[in-house]
Amino acid sequence: MELFKIFKKQEKSKNVAKERLKLVLVHDRADLSPRFLDMIKTDIIRVISEYAEIDEEGLDIKLTRMKKDGDLTPISALVANIPLVKINNMDRN
């Protein structure tokens, strides 16, 4: 049954390649460079870090396409999953 494990690994790399291709296509359609997305990611980390400790290893920020209700034209959407380790204790005025 070791033979099936080899095929499973290839399927995983196939899915990774597919997701990367989707990301490249979304970037092209949105006319945003990967450098621009990295700049946004850096700014998001900086701002949220003022309020909470972030698990940067688990951080996932993607640019995707989605359709709004009743609209046929897809729009770009920034989707972020940001694991918060600890909220900073801040005095509220």
In a domain, residue 93? The reply is no
Percent of the chain with pLDDT over 90: 12
Quickly list DSSP for 20-70.
HHHHHHHHHHHT--HHHHHHHHHHHHHHHHTTEEE-GGG-EEEEEEEEPTT
In a domain, residue 83? The reply is yes
In a domain, residue 92? The reply is no
Backbone angles phi, psi at 65, to 5 degrees: -115, 140
In a domain, residue 2? The reply is no
Segments forming the whole domain that contains residue 34: 11-87
Run of H or E including 86: strand 84-87
Whole-prediction pTM value? 0.54
Segment 40-79, tens digit of pLDDT = 888 988 999 989 999 988 988 887 778 878 877 777 788 8
- Does residue 87 contact residue 78 with C-beta atoms inside 8 Å? no
**Domains identified in the chain, total number:** 1
In a domain, residue 51? The reply is yes
